[in-house]
Amino acid sequence: MATGPFKYLQVFVYKFIYKRARAPRDLVSFFGLSCLQTSIRWSSSRCAVSRCMEKPTASDGAELEETAGLVEDGELPQGAEGGNVEPRTLRKSSSSRKSFRLDYRLEEEVTKSSRDKYGRWTNPWPTWRFPSYSMLFRFLVLEKNHSNVPTSKEVLDSELPVMEPYFVQNPEALDSPAGMRVTWLGHATVLVEMEGVNILTDPIFSQRASPLQFMGPKRYRGPPCTVEQLPRIDAVLISHSHYDHLDAGSVASLNARFGGELRWFVPLGLMDWLAKMGCENVMELDWWEENCVPGHDNVTFVCTPSQHWSKRTALDDNRSLWSSWSVLGPNQRFFFAGDTGYCSSFQEIGRRFGPFDLAAIPIGAYQPRDVMQGQHVDPEEAVQIHQDLQAKWSVAIHWGTFALAYEYYLEPPVRLRESLEQKGLKPECFFTLHHGESRLIAAQDGDVFE
């Protein structure tokens, strides 16, 4: 199966089979992703710790809704590097669907999340457009794929080298940097070290972005490290449910290594999926809600808007929300765009939380434009997001790893540099990294060092 059209074939299955013929639930079982039956809601204290199963008092001002259910028995998930994940001892979960501090959703001028009459999440901006049947047909059948990814490893090693990350080369160099350090691990996965907190975004260490590891989009550049080689991870940010951003094998491997010490930040609708994977410490947030990592109360994680969609099976279109993330510390601020088309909310985020010291912004998977525009920014729009956020520095993500669209595989960074030049911006303010490469942003003057 071709890599680019993979998830759009799922859309066809949904539109033509489910909506019109009411396909049986066995179709979902094909993907091996049945839904978790248990849903628990409760009020969270600061950082939602030590209140995991306590009943809130009246002063908490929150309802307790508890629906009893059972997690279906099944096989252990497979780790990203292969092999079964060791079963973990069951313990009380510290997951929560509640936030603390300010509630920006009460402000009239912010864009709030919304659902349609069927309960599916929607994009509230006029810039959103999902491809029509004719566009999808042309994309899947008629459009020429210009990605031209070489089959030669030697050519790829020359054009897109995969470097051994600093923490693999020298594990002794894991002390917190004086400023902010970012390491690109491929696609939308970055490791950000700031304010004493290690943050991992949309982790995918598997070879394929697919429910099945023998078909679907395959990496043409492998991960620069394994989960076992990572330094301590305090928080994982998940932007949405697509397989190239929420990878079951990587989630299982991270959970097997870090367990309840690792806090997962996810948009609404994904906590149950992560709970079924065994994750014990999950914060599920709506746009503009916020929380933090226990022991790091001074660093706030805010779920912020993005323009995208969600899907993992034939029947769950837009049943979970999508988001970007803003991480706000006393001295440093980081923005993770996830996967997104361009919309006006980036200006809202910049006004409230900018300027950002660093932003991770996608630049790839944008052709053909009429199909991709609503959901994936092109390099020119990525530069606009950089400006909307008032970002001092930005790192390019979502390119050079999977062939998910039809632009030439080396085109995104070329167009990025051209756009920066056209807007009179220094090319180094929005930079690209090799897989596994790191950059250090100095704490005081904002300089970037190799």
pLDDT digits (tens, 9 = 90+) for 159-214: 999 999 999 998 877 777 778 999 999 999 999 999 999 999 999 999 999 998 88
Higher pLDDT, 5 or 182: 182
Q: What is the mean pLDDT of the chain?
A: 82
pLDDT digits (tens, 9 = 90+) for 332-375: 999 999 999 999 999 999 999 999 999 999 999 999 999 999 99
Which segments of 195-331 are extended strands (E)?
Answer: 197-201, 235-237, 263-267, 282-285, 290-293, 296-304, 324-328
The pLDDT value recorded for residue 132 is 85
pLDDT digits (tens, 9 = 90+) for 401-442: 999 999 999 999 999 999 999 999 999 999 999 999 999 997
pLDDT > 70 in the chain, percent: 74
Higher pLDDT, 51 or 246: 246
Q: Does residue 21 register a pLDDT over 60? A: no
Closest CA to 348 of 103, 101, 104: 104
Q: Radius of gyration (Cα) for the chain, nearest Å?
A: 21
Amino acid at 322: W
The pLDDT value recorded for residue 69 is 32
3-state secondary structure 127-159: CCCCCCHHHHHHHHHHCCCCCCCCCCHHHHHHH
For residue 90, count CB atoms less than 10 angstroms from its CB and return exposed for 0-12, middle for 13-18, buried for 19 or more: exposed
| Average of per-residue pLDDT across 141-169 | 95
The pLDDT value recorded for residue 279 is 97
pLDDT digits (tens, 9 = 90+) for 259-312: 999 999 999 999 999 999 999 999 999 999 999 999 999 999 999 999 999 999
What is the pLDDT confidence band of residue 248, given thresholds at 50, 70 and 90? very high
Q: Does residue 31 register a pLDDT over 80? A: no
Q: Does residue 34 register a pLDDT over 70? A: no
Q: Tell me how crowded residue 31 is: count the other CB atoms within 10 A of its CB.
A: 17
Query: What span, in angstroms and rounded, lies between the C-alpha atoms of 262 and 323?
Result: 20
| Average of per-residue pLDDT across 31-42 | 32
| Average of per-residue pLDDT across 105-122 | 88
Q: Does residue 58 register a pLDDT over 50? A: no
The pLDDT value recorded for residue 5 is 52
Higher pLDDT, 389 or 102: 389
Higher pLDDT, 10 or 307: 307
| Average of per-residue pLDDT across 227-253 | 97
Query: What span, in angstroms and rounded, lies between the C-alpha atoms of 285 and 134?
Result: 35
Higher pLDDT, 170 or 62: 170
The pLDDT value recorded for residue 15 is 45
DSSP state, 125? S
Higher pLDDT, 25 or 117: 117
Query: What span, in angstroms and rounded, lies between the C-alpha atoms of 415 and 409?
Result: 12
Q: Does residue 154 register a pLDDT over 90? A: yes
What is the pLDDT confidence band of residue 142, given thresholds at 50, 70 and 90? confident
What is the pLDDT confidence band of residue 63, given thresholds at 50, 70 and 90? very low
Answer for the pair 340, 207: CB distance below 8 angstroms, yes or no: no
Q: Which two tokens stand for residue 302?
A: 């805010």
